[in-house]
Amino acid sequence: MWSDYLQLIKAEGLVAIIMFILLFLKLGKKERNTESLLHFINVLLVINFISGFFFNAEGTLFGDMFQTNSLLSLEKNILNLGTLIISLQSFQWLKGHKHILEFYMLLLSTLLGMFFMISSNNLLMFYLGLELSTIPLAALANFDLEKRTSSEAAMKLILSSAFSSGLLLFGISMLYGATGTLNYQELSQQLTGTPLQILSFVMFAAGFGFKFSAVPFHLWTADVYEGSPVAVTSYLSVISKGAILFVFVSVLYRVFQNISVVWYNLLFILSVLTMFIGNLFALRQQNMKRFLAFSSVAQVGFILIGITGQSAAGSASVIYFILIYIFSNLGAFGVVSLVSAVTGKETVNDYKGFYKNNRMLSWVLAISLFSLAGIPPTAGFFGKFFLLLAGAGKTSSSGWQLNYILITIAALNMVISLYYYLRIIKAIFMDKNDNPVEKVKSTFSPNLSFIICVAGILVTGFASSAYDYIFSLVK
């Protein structure tokens, strides 16, 4: 009996257990060998990730507030994987940091929040999970304790999060007023498209827009990403964004299916703006972190196209793309993080002539960037192709063939985005630099994360079984 319940919240439980273990470690001895502590935590995360594949159950808990099934377990495990990779990558940075355990406590509590958010079957539960995942993030953004920009980033993050949560909550409460329920299934039957419902949906979507930084709600992104430590930046741009998008897809498809005409048009505008403005800003960035931040804004635009597909293919492509996006973006962030931790260099100009002393790191960065740009044979190509294909598959209700217009804009935006990715490639391989970055020594943990990322990028695309599996779950 009890074991059944525990099995349903297994993923959440494991993360909570790891948090408790860390808490007890904190209570104990004062001085610890940081390296072995980090290795120990990484092992815990590996166990957490591997166990995510087993004993997954289906069912609901807490009076229909919480639900889980294979698809949701998979989504959670994708986030587990991302967290593991980030933890491996930040080894170099954390080694010199005083508050390792606090860092992981906060990190894992956001992860826990995301899990609850993904598993929510009720808007209240969703909101609870969301808050649990956002507030520790602001503390994390402040983790470069000596840097002023880091505090600034934290302040900006918490303010914009609070504002967007306000919008979301406003939308939710209006939705409750209009329908009298917050349960997903009941909501989906009650929605008929009355003006109040549409207004509340718009509030709701705007709140989401803030969270995954769609244009015009993206302005907090660049400063926060630049100011935060690289590990937190990558966590924000990959894991936190991925989790929100998972929820967004499932909420749209499950709850708001009845008013899909409304949100199709909304997503159309959002995605065109997001791609276009994200790309335009990314074009001229000099700081690598800022550059990756804006490129990740543009990536969201592509993901939104997949969501407009409103089909199993749409939902599957989004999840598949986020998996690939984790590999590609973390590959890029990993290199930037390592170089920044060892040499302190973060601008594009510093990367000129990078290939001279750092062959392997250059290739990792190049492959990741190619994957982000969607160049075969990397997985990014497959991910983007399927997203756009899903978007094109939506039969348009008006005579305008909006779906084809959308993918034409998207395809051309891919070319724009290619320019700035190639700019980095050009800096690495082609530009002359009298004083290139010295050989960056990489240790076991970052190397392992690079291997995972590159293998993921090169294999995920060809091995169609990953996509087939996701598709079978979505159906």
Partner 1 sequence: MNLNLIIIIPLLTSIAVLFCKGLKQVRMISLIGAAIQLILSFVLLYAYWQERAAGNTSTFIFEYNVAWYAPLHINYHIGIDGISMAMILLTSFIVLTGVLVSWKMPARTSGGEMLSKEFFFLLLFLGVGAYGFFISLDLFTLFFFLELAVIPKFLLIGIWGSGKKEYSAMKLALMLMGGSALVFVGLAGLFFNTNTGDGTHTFDILQIAQMHIPVEVQKLFFPFAFIGFGVFGALFPFHTWVPDGHSSAPTAASMFLAGISMKLGGYGCLRVATFLMPDAAHYYSWIIIVVSCIAILYGAFATMMQTDLKYINAYSSVSHCGFVLLGIGILTQTALVGAVMQMVSHGLMTALFFACIGMIYDRTHTRQMSELGGLLKVMPFISTTFVIAGLCSLGLPGFSGFVAEVTVFMGSWEQTDVFYKIATIVACASIVVTAVYILRTIGKAILGPLEKNQYSLLKDAGWHEKWAASLLIIGIVAIGVVPFWLNHLIGPGAETIMSNIKNVTIIK
Binding site for partner 1 (CB under 8 A): 312-313, 316, 353, 355-356, 370, 375-377, 381, 385-386, 388-389, 392-393, 404, 407-408, 411-412, 414-415, 418-419, 422, 425-426, 429-432, 464, 467-468, 471-472
Across the chain, how many H-helices and E-strands are there?
A: 21, 2
The answer to whether the CB of 144 falls within 8 A of the CB of 93 is no
Exposed, middle or buried, 254 (CB in 10 Å: 0-12/13-18/19+)?
middle
Minimum gap (Å) between residue 311 Cβ and partner 1: 10
Q: Which is nearer to partner 1, 247 or 466 (CB)?
A: 466
Minimum gap (Å) between residue 77 Cβ and partner 1: 21
Q: Which is nearer to partner 1, 32 or 426 (CB)?
A: 426
The answer to whether the CB of 235 falls within 8 A of the CB of 140 is yes
Minimum gap (Å) between residue 437 Cβ and partner 1: 13
* β partners of residue 60: 67
Indicate the Cα dihedral angle 314, 315, 317, 323, nearest 10°.
160
Q: Which is nearer to partner 1, 30 or 432 (CB)?
A: 432
Q: Which is nearer to partner 1, 221 or 403 (CB)?
A: 403
> What CA–CA distance (Å, rounded) separates 374 from 237?
18
Minimum gap (Å) between residue 316 Cβ and partner 1: 7
Q: Which is nearer to partner 1, 252 or 425 (CB)?
A: 425
Minimum gap (Å) between residue 359 Cβ and partner 1: 9
Q: Which is nearer to partner 1, 55 or 404 (CB)?
A: 404
Task: Please state, in angstroms and as integers, the Cα–Cα distance from residue 145 to each residue in 8, 42, 221, following that order.
Answer: 38, 23, 20
Look-up of token digits 């985005």: 417
Minimum gap (Å) between residue 75 Cβ and partner 1: 18
Phi-psi region of 56 (alpha: psi -120 to 50; beta: other; left: phi over 0): beta
Q: Which is nearer to partner 1, 106 or 369 (CB)?
A: 369
User: What is the token pair recorded at 217?
Assistant: 């709600």
Q: Which is nearer to partner 1, 99 or 359 (CB)?
A: 359
Minimum gap (Å) between residue 268 Cβ and partner 1: 16
Minimum gap (Å) between residue 422 Cβ and partner 1: 6
Half-sphere exposure of 337 (CA within 13 A, CB side): 30
> What CA–CA distance (Å, rounded) separates 320 from 302?
13
* β partners of residue 66: 61, 120
Q: Which residues contact 20 (CB under 8 A, 6 or more apart)?
A: none
Q: Which is nearer to partner 1, 330 or 373 (CB)?
A: 373
The answer to whether the CB of 381 falls within 8 A of the CB of 461 is yes
Minimum gap (Å) between residue 283 Cβ and partner 1: 12
* β partners of residue 122: 183
Sign of CA dihedral 213, 245, 315, 455: positive
> What CA–CA distance (Å, rounded) separates 317 from 204?
23
Q: Which residues contact 164 (CB under 8 A, 6 or more apart)?
A: 206, 207, 209, 210, 211, 217
Q: Which is nearer to partner 1, 235 or 355 (CB)?
A: 355
Minimum gap (Å) between residue 85 Cβ and partner 1: 25
